[in-house]
Structure 1
Amino acid sequence: MRFISRNRYRKIGVGILFALFLVLIISHSQQSLNSVKNIITRQTSMIAGKGNDKDLEWTPEKLKQFMHLLDKQNHNIYNNSYHSFSTNTNNNNNNNFRQLIQSTANSSHSEYKLQFPSLSQYLTYISDEQSALTPSFVLSKRSPLNKASLVFGVPHIKRSKESYLQLTLYFLIKNIKPWDLNDTHIIVFIAETDMNYVMNTTRMIVHHFEEYINSGILAVISPSPTYYPDFNKLYKKQTLGDPLKRVHWRTKQNLDFAYLMMYAYTKGDYYVQLEDDVVSTPDYVGLIKEAIIDLNKNKTEWFTIRFCRLGFIGQMLKSQDLPQLITFMLIFHEDQPSDWLLDYLIQTRVCRKDKDAKDCRQRKDSLWRTHKTSLFQHIGYHSSLDGKVQKLKDKFFKTKTFSYIVHKDNPPADVITSLKSFKDHTISKSYKGDDYFWAINPKDGDHIIITFNEPTVLDELTINSGNFEHPNDKIPDETTVEIIPQISQNSSFVVTSDGYYIIGSFVDGFIKITNLKDFGLINKLRV
């Protein structure tokens, strides 16, 4: 008597099931049926004790032979079935089938339309996407059809201490060569929903840079309040182990950058990300264009070119690549800071899992090009993150004397002041254009008096104060500019007790007056 193990029962069952299956499907091909029967007969004989244990195994060779016969048999069944269908189907049925296919082809299939993930699926708090993506304020005179070669994005937020925005815009505009101005677009994104702050900041920009607003070089936008969440309610996870205050700050920064990029996407060929506390090197636009030409001429592949080695400052992308970065930033907006997300995006594009970090770095460098010198320098001391001090400087930024603007066209005059000069940085040198004026320990009542050698007709007056490293060291807003014309004026200007006409006052350390010809000859000017 032979004892059959439980495993062997399984093998017996498999053989019987295959046998039953074959009996059902091979009735149309006698030759294949006989071949399969031989296999089944041999296997059942083994179960009855006519062979050894090894013969009971369904070896790979036997299975392969079995499947070959099965495929052959199915082919014969299909041919026979198709022939039967063809001969038994009348023309009317064929017409019905054609009509069914035709009606399906002509339908719109709108119910099957695929849905690409929308903004609200990344930012789950947004209920009205159209409202969230419509800016609450736009000041732009540039035609949508007038695309620029280079678009510079300058996000700005309210700081608890000094603002560097005016100085940033001053150097960005001043350092563009005249022939590059119309081919450049600078977008200031005031990333605040307090419309009083938005309007006050816009007023400052227009006061200083109205010419560039009107020419379409400079634009100002602010977002819809519905674009931002309630950070304290929605984001309570300390990602990367950061304090919640820092998590909220960098999360909002990602949202700010993404919004600015979405607006800038269609405005030019290339996009450069900046911040509101940077200065630029002279002719930075020309240098960027040269870098692009060199890479394109050599057919060099690139995704990003960095023109500054600090964070996200000076990162340039092709506008056509912005949607990738925007989507990536929105998906992970609460997980990583913006400059890290850019790094991860490039890493995802080129790095292999089966290679080491060195290989990945080389691959990233092939797409993430670095300009030999930095064209932008970070100047902010107080970060936009309240309480954070930021002392980082880019050592590859070589320009040293960009903060002083040389002028040699002031009319001859004697200049005196009650302000005490620091070292030899005197007011007389400043007026002649030989140096800047550096005063210390100013107090109420201090003044600067300019007495012209001869009565002079002035075209305009411009006085700028402050330093990018100490932006609060500037002439205060209550300071007035006053003149004594040679001929008394019948005008609405206030006249002081000593005969000076008050013609203007400083705003944010700056004043520019262009209507001075109306006063005729002027003897003196006092600040």
Structure 2
Amino acid sequence: MATRPMSPSKRVDVGQIINPPFKVLMYGQPRGHKGLFTIGIPSAQRPNTDRIYLFDTVDSIIDKTTESEKEEVTLVIMLCDLNSTYNTHISVNVYNTYQQHVESGFIQIIHTQRSIYPDLEHVKPTFNDTKDRLKWRAKQNVDFSFLMHYSINISEYYIQLEDDVIVASDFVNSIKSHLSISTAWAVLEFSRLGFIGKMFKSSDLEYVASKLMLRYDEAPCDLLLSPIRMDLGQKKSIHSKQSLFQHIGRFSSLKNKLMPSIDNKFKDNANVTFDLYNYPAADDPEASFQTTFETYLNFTTEFAYDNNASSFFWGKTPKKGDTFTLVLAMPQNLTRIVVLTGKKETRNDNLLYTDLECSTFQFGSSETDECGTMFIKLTGLADGDADTLATGTAIPNNVKCLRLRVKRKLRTWVVIREILLYT
């Protein structure tokens, strides 16, 4: 393979990274037959939380595959954190939790080694991304490449997942039904999100893995997918009508990034509850509300702060500058603030282009101006949600008011499902 520049002073031979025998610690035995498809799941530690979504993902796959289907499917879990101690700890836990499936060959567990990675500290800047994000997305491309290359000869097809998804009911048969389509294809897409649920022919994996490695520092993996697909002769994306994989993670493996996106086309959306997912009971100190949003019928402001998933505030299309303000009866030292918007089943009516702001108690403030004029931005809402723990946001002491401020006119109405405050 060709070489590419790494930094002004360093070059790396890509072939030296992925072509030698893999030096991995592996649990699970290769099967004596070639399966139908391999599911590849890279997994790394997530800052700001102890939550490990990987077990939810594996549980979902196990629950949604029959015993006969487990003979056709191989699940390869790659622990790829740069902390090797963490990788060893999780691999032992995975083995102990799923020992039966590991020993049957249904699950294989592998580790990466730090030596497989090129220089991630000198990634060329693109898309105006921060240095941390550049490093994170470059590492992700290398992780995917390594996992694909390892998986080349296991099955006929390969599906890329992440470690924070659940699968749809009867997903194996749904995938099989797409293998008989008359259109020539290189990539079948069973999710609308990122690189989740993308299926390749194993005969193409070496090419795909090589392209991800050669362009690892140029763009995020999902943006590299389109040129790879076109190189393989497929001009347009081919999506399943219903998505078979749903994203459930909220904490990213990139520090201080919230990832609340869900796939509205997921087959089992009606049977999955996403709101208040794994949140502890909030303290929710006494508060009142002020808003410039036009309230629809009796979906009033109080429903955004009642710790009840079945009720919500519903407002008509917000304008630039509109605000939704929570006024605390007493100033509070808050340890965490969570804001959840959009309809829980579909995430429609999200509060987009909006900042979460706060003001602190000011001595001498009048009763008619409890919040004062000095609001500071805490964080922007991501796909309509905010979580100061996930984003590593510092909250000042003596918070008196919290405000959601719209930065541009929206096209839809807005649902505020819940505001959770922790003291």
Larger mean CA deviation between 124-133 and 212-221 belongs to 124-133
SS at match of 1:154: strand
- The equivalent of 2:199 in structure 1 is 316
Rate the CA distance shift 1:277–1:348 in 2: closer, same or farther, 3 A.
Answer: same
Query: What RMSD in Å do the two structures reach over aligned CA positions?
Result: 2.6
Q: 5+ residue gaps in structure 1?
A: 1-116, 351-362, 405-421, 424-469, 473-527
Q: Quote the offset at 1:163 in angstroms.
A: 1.7
Q: How many residues align?
A: 270
SS at match of 2:98: helix
Counterpart contact for 1:165–1:276, Cα < 8 Å? yes
1:159 to 29, 37, 46: 46
Larger mean CA deviation between 271-280 and 121-130 belongs to 121-130
Q: Quote the offset at 1:381 in angstroms.
A: 0.7
Rate the CA distance shift 1:158–1:126 in 2: closer, same or farther, 3 A.
Answer: farther
Q: Quote the offset at 1:242 in angstroms.
A: 1.2
- The equivalent of 1:271 in structure 2 is 158
| CA shift digits 1:50-109 (9 cap, x unpaired) | xxxxxxxxxxxxxxxxxxxxxxxxxxxxxxxxxxxxxxxxxxxxxxxxxxxxxxxxxxxx
1:206 aligns with 2:72: no
Equivalents in 1 of 2:215, 2:112: separation in Å?
Answer: 20
Q: Quote the offset at 1:238 in angstroms.
A: 1.4
1:398 aligns with 2:281: no
Residue identity opposite 1:389 in structure 2:
L
SS at match of 2:235: helix
- The equivalent of 2:208 in structure 1 is 325
- The equivalent of 1:344 in structure 2 is 227
Equivalents in 1 of 2:232, 2:36: separation in Å?
Answer: 26
SS at match of 1:345: helix
| CA shift digits 1:418-461 (9 cap, x unpaired) | xxxx99xxxxxxxxxxxxxxxxxxxxxxxxxxxxxxxxxxxxxx
- The equivalent of 2:145 in structure 1 is 258
- The equivalent of 1:283 in structure 2 is 170
Q: Which has the higher contact order (CA 8 A, sep 6+)?
A: 2
Equivalents in 2 of 1:219, 1:122: separation in Å?
Answer: 34
| CA shift digits 1:117-172 (9 cap, x unpaired) | 26x668733596489752331112223x4221110000101111222000000001
Equivalents in 2 of 1:182, 1:204: separation in Å?
Answer: 23
> Structure 2 length normalisation: TM-score?
0.59
1:141 aligns with 2:35: no
Equivalents in 2 of 1:130, 1:305: separation in Å?
Answer: 25
- The equivalent of 1:376 in structure 2 is 245
1:245 aligns with 2:129: no
- The equivalent of 2:344 in structure 1 is none
Q: 5+ residue gaps in structure 2?
A: 274-306, 309-386, 390-423
Equivalents in 2 of 1:328, 1:403: separation in Å?
Answer: 36
Q: Quote the offset at 1:333 in angstroms.
A: 0.7
Equivalents in 2 of 1:199, 1:215: separation in Å?
Answer: 21
Structure with greater Cα Rg? 1
2:190 to 283, 307, 316: 307
Equivalents in 1 of 2:18, 2:269: separation in Å?
Answer: 46
Counterpart contact for 2:186–2:232, Cα < 8 Å? no
Equivalents in 1 of 2:191, 2:185: separation in Å?
Answer: 16
> Structure 1 length normalisation: TM-score?
0.48
1:364 aligns with 2:253: no
1:188 to 57, 74, 77: 77
As a proportion of its length, which structure holds more strand? 2
Rate the CA distance shift 1:130–1:401 in 2: closer, same or farther, 3 A.
Answer: closer
Q: Quote the offset at 1:347 in angstroms.
A: 3.5
Counterpart contact for 1:122–1:331, Cα < 8 Å? no
Equivalents in 1 of 2:18, 2:127: separation in Å?
Answer: 32
Q: Quote the offset at 1:348 in angstroms.
A: 4.4
SS at match of 1:188: strand
Equivalents in 1 of 2:227, 2:44: separation in Å?
Answer: 26
SS at match of 1:364: coil
Counterpart contact for 1:191–1:222, Cα < 8 Å? yes
Counterpart contact for 2:36–2:156, Cα < 8 Å? yes
Equivalents in 2 of 1:229, 1:132: separation in Å?
Answer: 15
SS at match of 2:208: helix
Residue identity opposite 1:289 in structure 2:
K
Equivalents in 1 of 2:18, 2:199: separation in Å?
Answer: 28
| CA shift digits 1:153-205 (9 cap, x unpaired) | 00101111222000000001110122211111000011124332122101221
Structure 1 vs Structure 2: percent identity of aligned residues? 28
Rate the CA distance shift 1:342–1:186 in 2: closer, same or farther, 3 A.
Answer: same
Counterpart contact for 1:193–1:222, Cα < 8 Å? no
As a proportion of its length, which structure holds more helix? 1
